[in-house]
């Protein structure tokens, strides 16, 4: 869980995850949205992969990234449970935001 929260601690990485909510994107598409160097974006992608928040697949010269929502949900549920909150799994998807049971 700490690896996930480390990945989420950076606003650039949170924005990458937000962009991936609409579907898979190439590294180039994602990087074009930010005013940072390619090595910096590559480091952000590595942190997201290490946290298992994104899946990457090489297609020719392009790398396609896809959001792994289940990992994010599991981390958030684990965090909530650590504070004694009981959340319904999948509530964020069906109702727009998590609600207590």
pLDDT in tens, 25-34: 999 999 999 9
Q: Which fold has domain 2-67?
A: Arc Repressor Mutant, subunit A (1.10.10)
In angstroms, the CA 72 to CA 32 distance is 24
Residue 12 pLDDT level (bands cut at 50, 70, 90): very high
Give backbone dihedrals phi and psi of 100, rounded to 5 degrees, phi first.
-70, 145
Residue 26, both tokens = 């190439």
Domain boundaries, the chain: 2-67, 69-101
Model pLDDT for residues 72-95, shown as the tens digit of each residue: 788 778 888 888 887 665 555 444
Per-residue pLDDT of 25-73, as tens digits, reads 999 999 999 999 999 999 999 999 999 999 999 999 999 999 998 887 8
Q: What is the pTM of this model?
A: 0.76
User: Look-up: residue for tokens 């790398």?
Assistant: 63
The confidence score (pLDDT) of residue 87 equals 64
Tracing tokens 């069906």 back to the chain, one arrives at: 94
What Rg value do the Cα atoms of the chain yield, rounded?
15
């Amino acid at each position: 869980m700490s690896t996930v929260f480390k990945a989420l601690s950076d606003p650039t990485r949170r924005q990458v995850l937000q962009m991936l909510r609409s579907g898979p994107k190439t590294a180039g598409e994602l990087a074009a949205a930010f005013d940072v160097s390619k090595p910096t974006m590559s480091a952000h992608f590595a942190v997201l992969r290490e946290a298992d928040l994104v899946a990457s697949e090489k297609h020719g010269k392009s790398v396609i990234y896809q959001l792994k929502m289940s990992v994010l949900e599991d981390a958030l549920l684990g965090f909530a449970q650590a504070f004694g909150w009981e959340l319904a799994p999948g509530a964020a998807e069906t109702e727009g935001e998590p609600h207590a049971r």
